[in-house]
Structure 1
Amino acid sequence: MSSFLIEPIYDSVAVAVLVSLLVVAVLVLVTPPTDNPKQRRWLIGLRFVAAFILMLAIFRPGFVQTDTRPAEATLVVAVDTSRSMTFPDDDRADRWTHQQQAWRELADGVASLDESMSVRLLEYDKAATELDNALPTALDDRTPEGDLTDLASAATAAIAAAQGQPLAGVVLMGDGAQTAPIDGAGAERVAQTLKTWGVPLWTVPIGPAGGQAANRDAGIDALPESYQLFAKNEFDVNFQVQLRGLAGTEVPVRVRWIDEKGNSTVAAERQLVAEKASEVQGMSLQVVAPAPGVYRLNVEVDPVEGELVTSNNLQTAFVNVREGGGRILYLEGAPRLEQTFLRAALRRFPDLDLTYQWIPSDTAARWPIGLRDWFQKGKFDIYIIGDLDADAIGREQLKQLAQSVSEGAGLVMLGGYHNYDAGGYANSPLADVLPVQMDASRRVSIQSDDVGDRRLQIPGPITVNRSRSHPITNIGGGDPDKTWSSLPSLLGANRFVGPKVSPGVQVLLETADRDPLLVVGEYGRGRTAAVAFDSTWRWWREGRSEAYRRFWRQLALWLLSREEDSGDRIFIELDSRRFANESETGFRARLSSVADERTTVKLTAEVIDENNRVTAITDTASSTVAGEQTVAGTIPNLPPGYYRLKIGPADNDSQIKPETLAFQVIDQSREMLMPMADPGYLRQLAEITKDHGGAAFSHEEIDQLVQRIAERRHQAEAPVVEKRTLGDDPISGWLLFVLFAGALSTEWYLRRRWGLV
């Protein structure tokens, strides 16, 4: 609508009229001083032009145009970029693809509405960020990678994105699953704020709602992180199978070996049928350990149709398989300190299984003690006899023991007052088995107090000397002889008649006077050892525990025919060998050495992935604890996968071998463990602003959303008045001035020319 108006000076029409009358009166009364009609007409005409322009300036006529149009406003669109958008939406595409399509249609639709509405595009997961452009192609090169979803953060950021401009509305796209911890009232509080402001919230739910059919899941849980096994031994793999939404469905469960080269072998398989809609079944599958080596043991369940989350379908345990198992039977008479420390040392090694039997001397009236089938072939791999009289075991059982040794078992007899010939073994079946000579005349009664006879005992203190190099005596250190001589002295030892003169019999340890302290030999297919002492526990108590453990382990391994390197070694410990990628998992490593003079070695740590890519761990702390060098640190944040932690000396020329320990980083993201969308929640948010046009639309109803936005913009139209007054702008003002001045200047010029001035 258009109209004319006048805005006289001083906002007074009367003043304008009065001034106009005065101007007219001046024109009428003050006539040009000439009688020439032509000259009079020119001069009066020019004066009237100037007067007319002056009256225009006094009355200030104008033009008013009234129109209606939408006010300037901002439409904010927030899209979900969390990882849950990678889940399927339907049979056609995943949620992210449908969200991309929805955004392109919305961007194209609102672009044709009006120029007074700007569009801002946000992406959100656990936080919201505005994108550089809001073009229809803005999402084409992006991927959903967020670990959490916070709808409240998205809604709050949408309000802030308007930057002070009125909001035309907020469009919130996504699956509606709130996985981030909720602070306060969450997104509902923001929706209430929009309602108070009269701003509509439009939501676009993407993804299927939860339900029995859509909530199908099978997973493996409660599998131990690691195993220490012996080759060819049978063991039980215990775990749990979680089943949801699979009542009556047959689910195959499988146990698989993965060796260091990645070769896979199925070890066991079973079909499982769920009886309820949701249940947890404990399972135990018997598996035979493979050949020695390092393995991953995978327990897996096949994905079922309609299952969205498959990351929990497999769980891994790390397995070290050793060459055969060492089963040890330790028979003891007098409960001495040696047996306490020896049991603790041997039980520390996972490949040595110790059974201890105490036969006290006050049970002598009931000797021999029946020891079930413990001496039968194959029952135990090593037999240790402490300070125990031969009569406690009995001739028949000792005969069985001798037979087992001849067929491959190991036998070691420790020092003591009531063993060897003093304990009656010179007349027992073990006389031919043990590698030392015995004299039956040195037999001591179990009730006798004559245990200090110099014929039977070597008084202490005794310094142990190594008489020859042997796997048993190779307990580490740069100078083995110096290592042995530096150990704490022994309190005493048995005095042997002498070692047997027989093939394979060797004296490994002796006193300074050349009395044998450790004699080894062979009997049939078995190995035997005669130990004259029983006070090596002093090594442990005086800070040489590593030497103590190594000596007895080396002796046990030699009896098993499994000698190993006893140089300085690195031992690694991890807080957990299977942990989430967001957790902080610490590690510790110690350099074990028995040498008196330890060389300071700097230990370094690094992580190696499955493609042999190396990541150095620089943030570590080194220290010395109980004489051992240690290094500790934290595993860096790693993507899910299998890795090896490698600890080794910084000096490549060092003789110390680096050690590795395998571990797994798993994905336990809340985002990926909650696969079901929550469209109902997004509809509830939109419902809060329904009085102002808020509503929910599916990704296939974007055209209806565009129409709703257009209707909302039409309702927001307001009258706009455009007024143009003569002289308000520079052009019209200067035009009036030029015409006025031009008319008066011309009139003055003509009067001079005509000589009327």
Structure 2
Amino acid sequence: MSYWYLQPLGESYLLVGILVFALVALLVLRPQFQGLTPQRHWILTGLRFAVILLIALTLLRPTWVRSIKETQKSLLVLMFDTSRSMTVPDAGDGIQRYEAQKQTLQRLAPELNSLGNNIDVAIYQFDENAKRLESVDGQVQLPHTPEGRFTDIGTSIAEVMQQNIGKKLAGVILLSDGAQRVYSPQVEMQQAARDLARLETPLHTVTYGKAIDPSQARDVAVETLADHYTVFVKNELAVKTSVRIQGMANLPVPVQLIVEDAQGQKTIVETQEITTPKVQETLDVIFRYTPQTSGQFKLSVVVPDQEGELVTKNNVLSAYLNVLEGGLKLLYLEGRTVDRPEQKWLRQVVAESADMELDFRWIDRRRRDQWPVNLTEVIEKGKYDVFIIGDVDSSALSPDTLELLAKQVEDGKGLIMLGGFHSFGAGGYQTTIFQNVLPVEMSRFDRQDFDAPIRTDMHVPGPITIVASENHFLSSLGTDSEGVPALTAVPGLSGANKVTGPTQRGMTILETQNGQPLLVAGEYGLGRTLAFTADSTWRWVMAGKSDIHKRFWRQILLWLAKKDGIETRDVWVQLGQRRYVPGAPITFTAGANSQSGDPLRGVTFESTLIAPDGSRTLLRTLPGNDVIEGTLDAGQAMGDYTIEVVAKQNGTSVGTGLGRFFVYDQDLELSDPSARPSQLAALSAITKDVGGRTWTPEELPQLLDQIKNRPPETEVEVQTKWTWPESSRDSWINLLLIVGLLGWEWYLRKRWSMV
């Protein structure tokens, strides 16, 4: 199929028409030359008209589009497993699975090199990630030994697909023992196989190794547990773990949650018995723990050794627990009660928090004849840590009250204003001292009159989807009980106040799907301030997400009171994770903050690694942006390690920061090295409609012959476009034609004595 179209200069036919008309007009209004014969006149006119025509074509840019079919090469991907479980010698004749893989690849080399010109071959090694191997002179250098600590089949397939996006895959051949051994896969195996099926790409699997009969091998393993938790004192903590039971059908298996304090004192918090009627199954276990004191603790999920277990190293998994202090006194000023459920559920959160005490003041708008209310004595006697301003009009509070609230915040207290019909600009706060206290700008034209219809131009209509615009303590709300991110799990908000935007020092933490600020943080003097422009988080409770609702408001109140752990230490140490296998690489950062939380300048750091036996080793670090960065390898000895960072400024000690981690003896690859042929068969079956299936190593030449003789359809339709005069060649031809015609016209006029 082919067709023509025009691309006029400036995308305007009118502009081109005017220019061409002007040139033609000049041609019509020709000068009079004596002695010019009609024949010579028409020759000159024709040359000039040809020049105008070329100029018109140049301005109109005619384009010819045609479709042609081209043959695109397809790609055959071959992936082989280099995780440590491939060292198990059960692949026949007592050789290792990996050696059997290498022999297969060596036998296949001639067939792979003779697949033809239309099929390329890409060979990948994989463990927890996939890595493409380059061939030299048609040969691929294979690793000598498999060293991968984990196997992540799903993520590896996804990475291969991502690296070859846009290419037609003739198929994926996967050589492995079939076992997925990783704590948190980025992409599940079944999802990766479904993605291949969606792209009409067959998955061919080949299993190496033998499956151990689960009914003959007893084993219990704690498989998943977060490596670090942070919770406020007297707040409930949900500890979710998963336990795999094998060969113990219908037998009770005890699972314990143990807490260990800094002195090494261990306490069994809870014991649950789990059981399964199946030969093998992985069960989720959730413990509930409410710490009563603050400090650093160690959590361990432990399954006592069971009779007949061959491997017991996988019966325990540990994590660190940081319990932060609470203890706050709050003053809540509210103008509406019956028709404002937000205040009810916010007060309920505080009532359920033993570390918080709330004074609630209802400023009734029906008694406006008694306004403004003077609360200076209440505020001075209350010694409050945080002030909450609900739907209260600025005219309800006396100027002295507003001045005192501002002074309290300036001296280090926290303040939050909530959304409402008489909050922010609608409540007239832009004309009070609060215009400097709040972290948002308010329009001077906003004002809601009492007993007048609600002005919709001052509000953002719902439903509102909450978007986290900053990675902040207040936006880190974890997940719900099903593992869904909190801000995704909760229903949308029904509306919010519209503000001009954050102040110069304000930070937008949460916003609407359209970028309107919802939660803005700031500072006023030594205190922290928040503007939360909505008032419908109570809908989260109605939707069964009361745990997220409680977490959200507790974190807000504790952050306002500087109880979020950000400033609990002058010197801090941050680790990417807290649990490592022996020899794993570890990175950490450390720094020192002033009392206001700003980085200290001119500080020197000394970092030391303290091993489980108490031995100390100095660590080398590199300076970063107001921090230091260090790397080390986890030790081979199992147990708890501590990174100690001592900070000094002008020779004087600023403080000491501690970062704890532990090295545990749990090798996912070798603790249960059984092959999983059924798992690979299930993956290939997902793509059976496009030819995917399982194969034996001996059948692979047959598979390659099949792919060679029946390659996938790779003929694609491609559009080609030619525009005059777009290419360099056409531009030169166009220029030479115009110059040539003009030169010829000038030559003739000179020859005929017209110039």
Q: Quick check: which has more Rg, 1 or 2?
A: 1
With structure 1 as the length reference, what TM-score do the two structures score? Answer: 0.39
With structure 2 as the length reference, what TM-score do the two structures score? Answer: 0.39
